[in-house]
Amino acid sequence: MEWAMTELLRHPNKLRRVTEELDAIIGDQTSVEESHLPRLPYLEAVLKETFRIHPPAPLLFPHMSSETTIVAGYTIPKNSNIFFNVWAIQRDAEFWEDPLRFEPERFLKDTEKRNYTGNSFHFFPFGSGRRICVGIPLAEKIMMQILATLLHCFEWELPNGRKPDVKEKLQLVLSKAEPLVVVPVARLSNLMQYE
Beta strands in the chain (DSSP E): 63-64, 69-71, 74-76, 81-82, 154-157, 168-170, 174-176, 183-186
Beta bridge partners of 170: 174
CA distances from 87 to 55, 58, 83, 138 (A): 6, 5, 11, 22
d(CA 92, CA 191): 46
Q: Which of 184, 178, 177, 179 has the alpha carbon at shortest distance from 158?
A: 184
- List the alpha helices (DSSP H) in 39-129: 41-53, 86-89, 106-109
Distance of CA 27 to the CA centre of its chain: 24
153 is in an annotated binding site: no
CA distances from 167 to 78, 164, 174, 176, 178 (A): 37, 9, 10, 6, 7
**Other beta carbons less than 10 A from residue 99's beta carbon:** 17
**Residues comprising the binding site?**
133
**Residues comprising the binding site for heme?**
133
